[in-house]
Structure 1
């Protein structure tokens, strides 16, 4: 079915812990929500008109230069910061070509952020490397750079951050050119199958390296031995490297500066974890999907700084759970998708510093929630798909700092929502696939801090939507499957701050969309499965110029209606599956009016 969604979002990874800035404007990301790490220096965003204040004279000048770029052949006479802003403007607007790049030769640019930029190859490297000692940050992820191109950077010895994610044409000889870049602090080679254990020998001289990302590198077994001398290394990502085994971790035992270690979905066992005992500064450990048991908690208890621990999908059982009590400094604990029962939670009650607890998809019942009463610092609690009902929610009343509560696929009903009325700091609440009805939603009226509310349920109707109109701060409202009619959409006018709205599988017609067209802050709109919507709907939402994602699949939209989408210049994703729309017409629209559209269906 076109555009429909399996509504169990993010089952694969449900982590609400640390979130660190993602690098790369065009970068792919294989990292989970739980932790993302930046591997590039921040690059200034100089797109004209982005700010709420009027553009400065400098911005106007840069904009004019970019408009008249054919008149200029060289920018090296300009101050470096001006050249940098012009360069960034070209990249942001997707206007940089191999021809226009020539104007930036010898400009002393500091940051070259071309991650996932099309057609970047070795010919570009001559000009990139001409920045010489000024060059500090280079991201060429997803490019066609080869060993020859990489060799041109060897004289740019001041480079601090280098990213070659998804570059599969770089081999061992090319990596040798990195060995002399001793000022490197960040290096990333995600999903680069050409990075081998022998190739990693080039990393051994990078004595100032702080962050290293080798996620999804499948040939690095035995290569971690070359990291032994990198005593400043603080962050290492080897997630999804199935080749990594316990023996590899011996090489990490002396890296006493290590603070973050991600190795989910590798072949690590309790034995491998035992090699980490001496890493007294380790704050974050991700072993999701590894073959560890609760026996590893003996080794982890020696990690006095450990604050973030991801044990999702490890097949943990209750046996040995008493050892959790030794992890006193934990702030984030993820134990979703295991075989944990009520017997385990009694050993968590002493973890007073916990802020995030994920127990989703375990055999947890109401009886165990009494042990959460003392965790008064909790800000996020995930009980997705546990056997929790109304009675268990009574134990949450004292968690006054709670901001995020996940109750999807539980037995919670309308009566239990009264226990949430005092959680006035709650910002995100997921009640999808629960037993909550319209009458229960009235009990949420006092949760005025709510920004995100998920109500995927057939039993929610217009009356339920009317009951929550006091929640004017909502930015995300998901009513997938709810029985909302045209009349019910009148209530949406109260939610002026909405950024995402999903009303799928209801009975909306064009008349109901009239009440949506005024929600100017919307960036995501999903109206799929409303089979009576016509081209008139596209005409009415044509003023929602902030839209980035639009889904009106399984409707009566035709090719004639596509013209109404022309004003939506920010649109990145468009789904019109099972409509009377052809891929060729969408491509025409993309080429003439929607240059930022990168994903569309039908393709």
Structure 2
């Protein structure tokens, strides 16, 4: 998300005891934070006049699709946060004209596969969070043409290998979160298409050492989270030992052991290592840190 802290003519943060009626007359706003303010649909018509807005945070409020009608004229919006709002597919229709949008947060909403068709024309969208929605594999086909996407969060148990396969056209992705998705070793073949990935989270529990082989050539990775995959062994540490750009690595709740720790020695840029609930001891990790990984500042278990 663009940092507007030094570029806004006027910004405002509205505390939770002020309702949406209080924003009338602030036509010069470019940033408006109404996060957790208890706002409902009533009064949202006041948003229509804020045509200079570039950043709007409506997260964790009680608004529904009826509120989104009043956002249609905010054509300068670049960042919109609707996290945990009571919106669904029909509301997304009112966003299709916001062609300047670069970041869209839809986590923990009732948005489903049908609604994504309204977003397919947002050609400037760089970041989209669809975690904890009701989107399925079918829906992902509707965003397969959004080549501007760089960051995509699909932490969702309804997403499988088929959904990931539908996204292989998004070759510009740099951040992909599949934390809870049901991706198997077969599905990891799709990851080869995302050669520029810098951040990958794949924690659905279905990956084995064989699947990790499809990650070993993603040389730009700085963050890799493969936690909760209980079948990963020390072989995984050997496979990823060539990912020397890694800064953060999480293999918690796997079968990694002390015997495999030496494979991490080439990862000289590593600053964070999480191996909770593995067959490793804090003592052995400390030895590795002292002998080969001096940049480590965050280690679990400690």
Name the counterpart of 2:132.
433
Q: Structure 1 CA distance, aligned partners of 2:257 and 2:126?
A: 39
1:593 aligns with one of 288, 292, 296: 292
Q: Structure 2 CA distance, aligned partners of 1:510 and 1:480?
A: 17
Shift of 1:17: 6.3
Structure 1 residue 377 and structure 2 residue 76: aligned?
yes
Name the counterpart of 2:16.
314
Shift of 1:343: 1.5
TM-score, scaled to structure 2 = 0.97
Q: Report Cα offsets for 1:443-484 as digits up to 9, x if no partner.
A: 001110000000011000000000000000000000011100
Name the counterpart of 1:602.
301
Q: Structure 1 CA distance, aligned partners of 2:179 and 2:65?
A: 27
Name the counterpart of 1:578.
277
Structure 1 residue 350 and structure 2 residue 49: aligned?
yes
Contact 1:17 1:356 in 2 (8 A): no
Any residues of structure 2 matched to 1:95-244 within 5 Å, and which? none
Shift of 1:404: 0.4
Shift of 1:566: 0.2
Shift of 1:557: 0.2
SS across alignment from 2:211: helix
Q: Structure 2 CA distance, aligned partners of 1:387 and 1:498?
A: 32
Contact 1:520 1:545 in 2 (8 A): yes
Structure 1 residue 417 and structure 2 residue 116: aligned?
yes
Q: Report Cα offsets for 1:271-315 as digits up to 9, x if no partner.
A: xxxxxxxxxxxx87xxxxxxxxxxxxxxxxxxxx5x22122x523
Contact 1:17 1:308 in 2 (8 A): no
Q: Structure 2 CA distance, aligned partners of 1:542 and 1:324?
A: 54
Structure 1 residue 388 and structure 2 residue 90: aligned?
no
SS across alignment from 1:392: helix
Structure 1 residue 485 and structure 2 residue 184: aligned?
yes
Q: What residue ranges of structure 2 are gaps of 5+ in the alignment?
A: none
Q: Structure 2 CA distance, aligned partners of 1:475 and 1:564?
A: 26
Q: Structure 1 CA distance, aligned partners of 2:276 and 2:36?
A: 33
Shift of 1:522: 0.2
Contact 1:17 1:332 in 2 (8 A): no
Name the counterpart of 1:73.
none
Structure 1 residue 367 and structure 2 residue 66: aligned?
yes
Q: Structure 2 CA distance, aligned partners of 1:315 and 1:578?
A: 43
Q: Report Cα offsets for 1:391-436 as digits up to 9, x if no partner.
A: 0000001000001000000000000000001001100000000000
Q: Structure 1 CA distance, aligned partners of 2:76 and 2:103?
A: 12
Q: Structure 2 CA distance, aligned partners of 1:511 and 1:503?
A: 14
SS across alignment from 1:446: coil
Q: Structure 1 CA distance, aligned partners of 2:246 and 2:99?
A: 35
Q: Report Cα offsets for 1:538-564 as digits up to 9, x if no partner.
A: 000000000000000000000011000
TM-score, scaled to structure 1 = 0.49
Contact 1:466 1:491 in 2 (8 A): yes
Q: Structure 1 CA distance, aligned partners of 2:202 and 2:55?
A: 30
Any residues of structure 2 matched to 1:320-335 within 5 Å, and which? 321=21, 323-335=22-34
Structure 1 residue 408 and structure 2 residue 111: aligned?
no
RMSD over equivalenced CA pairs, Å: 1.3
SS across alignment from 2:42: helix
Aligned length: 302
Shift of 1:325: 2.7
Whose relative contact order is higher, 1 or 2, with alpha carbons under 8 Å and at least 6 apart? 2
Q: What residue ranges of structure 1 are gaps of 5+ in the alignment?
A: 1-15, 20-34, 36-259, 261-282, 285-304
Any residues of structure 2 matched to 1:512-531 within 5 Å, and which? 512-531=211-230
